């Protein structure tokens, strides 16, 4: 799997990242303002956001949280711009645990790939927009990733920066709200920020995909599903029976979302599931894994963190040709070298991230982490661009400065035996 040099990257793909700079002027939008509940339009539902439970090329799931339904509990949708027939989908309410609120969920299915839609809730006056994922990766597809968010001003600034990149979706790898399984008001505040700030320059809501982190659960490690009430109240559509799963985008992209020991042990059933899942997706054009606690930490001592991942998961990533692993938890920016068995190898797997969307600490010196290609103390997100058989990963600091560029072409040879 050849790697792209920085020069080659900028020569071949920089125009696709025009939104990184000020050259792409976003339309005026509440995401350019300071966050507050006053940004929610009158009559709009609270904590509204989009996610997926199945193929994002033909479906979307609309969710929000409030004390009761206000009149008609339906979601009506039609193609955008107008002209098509409005269709209606029923909404299923359920408790938002440990509160008097409820989660309202509507899954819209049978959509056309690569299309734009508009929707409204009941007879409320606000109309929202979204787009489905393309049927194929023939055109450029972008998404942002990161983790360890919270609701502080740094997380807000990263939300705003992320939205300006006009991504198809955001992948957040745990520690979304720091609710610790017992502060639903913190989780709702996170959703409120996300819903009002993660709107792209064209005015479309940006769907969120997430995996679980230690601050989603009451107890951090080895909890039960009941220990993550807020997280699972909105993401149990994807994580119905387990806290790990997959999301497949047509036949061109698969996200493997893992639980790094917070509810499900890394070994045993999850590791067995991971091997089966990766085997079934062997040869997928773009295959990413995401988890919270890193196998190759940039700040914590690797003797104390990530050992289970390195033992049970990393050999499978290498064996089945995972293109990159998105990691979090350490509150830094990092990129490893391509690694096989923990050592640099041109056919190895690269680990990106380390979770500084809204939280920050200093990484260890590179000399003490020989597997790290780069690391820094910076709030950041990663902007991913998939184009044909090429993958570009651009780390953006809170200022919008490019901290790192990494790209690969084609599939890394999978290891067998």
Q: In CATH, what number is assigned to the domain containing residue 218?
A: 3.60.21.10
Q: Are residues 51 and 107 in the same domain?
A: yes
Residue 26 lies in a domain: no
Q: Are residues 198 and 215 in the same domain?
A: yes
Q: Are residues 92 and 210 in the same domain?
A: no
Q: Which of 131, 154, 175 is the last residue of a domain?
A: 131
Q: What's the pLDDT score for residue 138?
A: 80
Q: Which of 109, 131, 153 is the last residue of a domain?
A: 131
Q: Are residues 64 and 210 in the same domain?
A: no
Q: Are residues 304 and 351 in the same domain?
A: yes
Residue 415 lies in a domain: no
Q: Are residues 127 and 203 in the same domain?
A: no
The confidence band for 55, taking pLDDT boundaries of 50, 70 and 90, is very high
Residue 34 lies in a domain: no
Q: What's the pLDDT score for residue 34?
A: 39
Residue 417 lies in a domain: no
Q: What's the pLDDT score for residue 73?
A: 80
Task: Find where tokens 């806290």 sit.
Answer: 243
Residue 416 lies in a domain: no
Q: Are residues 71 and 194 in the same domain?
A: no
Check if the beta carbon of residue 338 is closer than 8 Å to that of residue 373. Answer: no
Of 18-32, 324-338, 364-378, minimum mean pLDDT range = 18-32
Residue 217 lies in a domain: yes
Q: How far is CA 270 from the centre of its chain?
A: 20
Q: Is the pLDDT of residue 366 over 90?
A: yes
CATH number of the CATH domain containing 82:
2.60.40.380
The confidence band for 413, taking pLDDT boundaries of 50, 70 and 90, is low
Q: Are residues 199 and 306 in the same domain?
A: yes
More confident call, 154 vs 9:
154
Q: Are residues 121 and 144 in the same domain?
A: no
The tens digit of pLDDT for each residue in 278-325 reads 999 998 999 999 999 999 999 999 988 899 999 999 999 999 999 999
Check if the beta carbon of residue 139 is closer than 8 Å to that of residue 177. Answer: no
- In sequence order, the 6+-apart residues with CB closer than 8 A to the CB of 411 are 1, 283, 285, 321, 323, 389
The tens digit of pLDDT for each residue in 73-112 reads 899 999 999 777 899 998 989 999 999 999 999 999 999 9
Average pLDDT, the chain: 89
Q: What's the pLDDT score for residue 201?
A: 97
Instruction: Tell me which residue range forms the domain holding 190.
Output: 3-20+138-409
Helix H, strand E, coil C: the string for 285-340 is CEEEEECCCCCCCCCCCCCCCCHHHHHHCHHHHHHCCCCEEEECCCCCEEEECCEE
Domains: count for the chain: 2
Q: Which of 131, 147, 178 is the last residue of a domain?
A: 131
């Amino acid at each position: 799997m050849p790697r792209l040099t920085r020069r080659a990257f900028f020569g071949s793909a920089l125009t696709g990242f025009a939104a990184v700079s000020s050259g792409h002027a976003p339309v005026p939008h509440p995401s350019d303002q300071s966050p507050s509940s006053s940004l929610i339009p009158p009559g709009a539902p609270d904590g509204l956001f989009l996610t997926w439970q199945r193929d994002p090329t033909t479906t979307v799931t609309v969710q929000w949280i409030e004390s009761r339904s206000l009149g008609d509990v339906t979601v009506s949708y039609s193609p955008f711009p107008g002209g098509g027939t409005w269709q209606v989908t029923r909404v299923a309410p359920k408790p938002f645990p440990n509160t008097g609120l409820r989660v309202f969920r509507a899954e819209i299915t049978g959509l056309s790939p690569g299309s734009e839609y508009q929707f409204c809730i009941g007879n409320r006056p606000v109309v929202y927009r979204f787009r489905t994922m393309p049927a194929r990766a023939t055109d450029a597809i972008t998404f942002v990733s990161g983790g360890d968010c919270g609701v502080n001003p740094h997380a807000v600034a990263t939300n705003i920066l992320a939205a300006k990149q006009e991504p198809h979706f955001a992948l957040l790898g745990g520690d979304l709200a720091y609710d610790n399984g017992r502060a639903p008001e913190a989780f709702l505040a996170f959703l409120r920020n996300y819903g009002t700030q993660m709107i792209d320059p064209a005015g479309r809501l940006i769907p969120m995909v997430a995996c679980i982190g230690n601050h989603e659960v009451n107890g951090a490690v080895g909890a039960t599903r009941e220990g993550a009430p807020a997280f699972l109240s909105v993401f149990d559509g994807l994580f119905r029976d387990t806290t790990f799963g997959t999301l497949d985008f047509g036949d061109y992209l698969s996200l493997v979302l893992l639980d790094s020991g917070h509810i499900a042990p890394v070994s045993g059933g999850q590791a067995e599931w991971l091997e089966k899942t990766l085997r079934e997706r062997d040869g997928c054009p773009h295959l990413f894994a995401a988890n919270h606690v890193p196998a190759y930490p940039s700040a914590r001592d690797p003797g104390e963190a990530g050992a289970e991942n390195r033992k049970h998961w990393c050999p499978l990533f290498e064996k089945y040709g995972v293109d990159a692993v998105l990691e979090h938890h350490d509150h830094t920016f990092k990129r490893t070298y391509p690694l096989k068995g923990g050592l640099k190898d041109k056919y190895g797997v690269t680990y990106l991230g380390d979770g500084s969307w809204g939280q920050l600490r200093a990484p260890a010196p590179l000399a003490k982490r020989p597997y790290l290609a780069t690391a820094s103390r910076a709030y950041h997100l990663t902007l991913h661009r998939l184009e044909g058989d090429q993958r570009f990963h651009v780390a953006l600091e809170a200022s919008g400065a490019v901290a790192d560029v990494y790209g690969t072409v084609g599939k890394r040879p999978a290891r067998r035996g």
